[in-house]
Amino acid sequence: MPNSTVGLLASFDYVDSAVNAIGELRGAGLKKITAFMPYPEAQIEEALQYDQSPVRVWALAGGLLGAATGLALTVFTSMDWPLVTGGKPILSIPAYVIITFEMMVLFGALSTVIGLFINSRLPYVKPMVVYDPEFSAGKFGVYVTVAADRLDRARGILKGQDPAEIREDPVGVAHAPTGVGSGSEVPVGTAYASSGFDPGPESRETPAGVAHASPGFDSGADPREDDSRGMLLENLKIVGVVIGTIATFTFIANAIPQLQSEVPIVLDFDLNVTPEELIESGEILFNGAGACFTCHTLGERAPTLLTDHEGTGPIGVRCANRVPGQDCKAYLYSSMVDPEAYLVEGFAPIMQDQSRSLSNAQIWALVAYLQSVGGEVTVTGADIAETDDGSSATAGAAPTGAGSATASMDPLEIMRGNLCFACHLFNGEGVAGIGPTFDRIGARVDADYIRESILDPAAGASEGFEHLTDPPMMPATFGDDLTASQLEVLVQFLVSQR
């Protein structure tokens, strides 16, 4: 049964001829037209009357999906891993804009590439049979698929634009005929071994994209098989490069040291809070964000709390006897919010008001823990509710990070706010002999050493102060207490002291 559909491929030397041929073919009702160009040509694209690219829909859908994914990722991460900072809301849309925007760009770009490949039907596992290498060397091609009864009409339109040649391609036939004669129509892309084939100057029906065979050429080989194999290998190379690139960046990303932090515990006590809950939270604070351990251990800067002090016992024993008529919990609470009210004889007023950096619930948790050291815990949920006037740092702050004690960017104010001068001396201000002096510190150490010492005090110690690292006397909470900008301001200030 003869083919009911035939393809005609015309090659033109000039773009105007190709444009006119396309216009007349479309005017005759022939819509299945493919054009070949050595370079992008707007006139041909206009003549084909292409609709707007569907790839833009892929880009829009990918961008919207990426933005929604980025927003959902940040929102649910914040809800699952809440970080309370200065009483600010857990969900803060302005902070999520960057991640949302980046995810929108990422998903939009990836979906655009995917849409481009799908709509372009890439990659080609098999090469195009309707093609001629001359279309990449300066000529323009027009390929039209027509019904057999309209073949003459289409051929006439193409010949009217003075083509360099016209080739017929019976659509759907196998492109590997067993024999080729001077009177037969040769499908486009067919190899043949005749050395004297010449159909005539007006309609030279020759294979597209195939080198002419010379005498002695083995007609039993199908060059299309080599083309298919070569294109498959080329696609495999592209896939290999993509996978290799992704693997390389994945390896580099996983080779970077990662720091794992713990989910902060939010203190939100009600009237039914138990002494055990208060003691547990207070102990975490005492050894962590509260930085109490730093001063109240050796008894040099402040009285010891966990052990005996001058024969009066640990803090849980002696707190009730410090101020006549005042019970233990009231004394401890007052000492934290007004440290100079009951200053122990022989010690300087170096402690700051703890309500500046700790919440009311955190302060009472510390009181309960200190009561438990040798005494009886009498703190209740009613004490927390009665003293909570909203003036403390954060109403539900986490015990693992108290936040910056000051928002100032002045290095001296940063050091004063974080009690650096309780152990260090600088320009006559502070305490000498406990920690290394800051005077001329830039001449002794570099910026990296100072930065590491602030973030990880146990990493090392200056000569003569090794005893302060076992156990570490300096709190390791400044990485959470200081902002990145404050840390760098402080480091650069200290390294400039020469």
Among the ranges given (36-45, 253-262, 363-372), the one the predictor scored with the smallest mean pLDDT: 253-262
Segment of 34-48, 56-70, 300-314, 419-433 carrying the highest mean pLDDT = 56-70
Q: Per residue, what are the HEC states of the chain?
A: CCCCEEEEEEEECCHHHHHHHHHHHHHCCCCCEEEECCCCCHHHHHHHCCCCCCHHHHHHHHHHHHHHHHHHHHHHHHHHCCCCCCCCCCCCHHHHHHHHHHHHHHHHHHHHHHHHHHHCCCCCCCCCCCCCHHHHCCCEEEEEEEEHHHHHHHHHHHHCCCCCEEEEEECCCCCCCCCCCCCCCCCCCCCCCCCCCCCCCCCCCCCCCCCCCCCCCCCCCCHHHHHHHHHHHHHHHHHHHHHHHHHHHHHHHHHCCCCCCCCCCCCCCCCCCCHHHHHHHHHHHHHCCCCHHHHCCCCCCCCCCCCCCCCCCCHHHHHHHCCCCCCHHHHHHHHHHCCCCCCCCCCCCCCCCHHHCCCHHHHHHHHHHHHHCCCCCCCCHHHHHHHCCCCCCCCCCCCCCCCCCCCCCCHHHHHHHCCHHHCCEECCEECCCCCCCCCCHHHCCCHHHHHHHHHCHHHCCCCCCHHHECCECCCCCHHHHCCHHHHHHHHHHHHCCC
Instruction: Flag whether pLDDT at 23 surpasses 80.
Output: yes
The listed range with the strongest mean pLDDT (163-177, 187-201, 241-255) is 241-255
What is the mean pLDDT of the segment spanning 78-94?
A: 81
Q: What pLDDT, in 10s, does the model give residues 122-174?
A: 776 655 557 788 888 899 999 999 998 898 999 999 999 999 999 887 654 43
290-308 pLDDT, tens per residue?
A: 567 667 766 666 788 888 8
Which has more pLDDT, 216 or 332? 332
Of 5-14, 290-299, 357-366, 396-405, which range is least confident?
396-405
Question: Is the per-residue pLDDT at 435 higher than 60?
Answer: yes
Structural domains in the chain, sorted by start: 1-173+225-240 (no CATH), 264-400 (1.10.760.10), 404-498 (1.10.760.10)
**Where is mean pLDDT largest: 216-230, 254-268, 358-372?**
358-372
Question: Lowest mean pLDDT: which of 19-23, 168-172, 300-304, 329-333?
Answer: 168-172
- What's the pLDDT at 61? 96
Mean pLDDT score, 398-419: 69
The answer, as to whether pTM is greater than 0.75, is no
Is a pLDDT exceeding 70 seen at residue 177? no
pLDDT score of 89 more than 50: yes
Across the range 3-9, mean pLDDT stands at 82
**pLDDT at residue 294, as a whole number:** 67
Q: How much is the average pLDDT of 355-373?
A: 84
The reported pLDDT for the residue numbered 20 is: 94
pLDDT of residue 227: 62
* pLDDT single digits (tens) 57-68: 999 999 999 999
pLDDT at 407: 74
**Average per-residue pLDDT in the chain?**
77
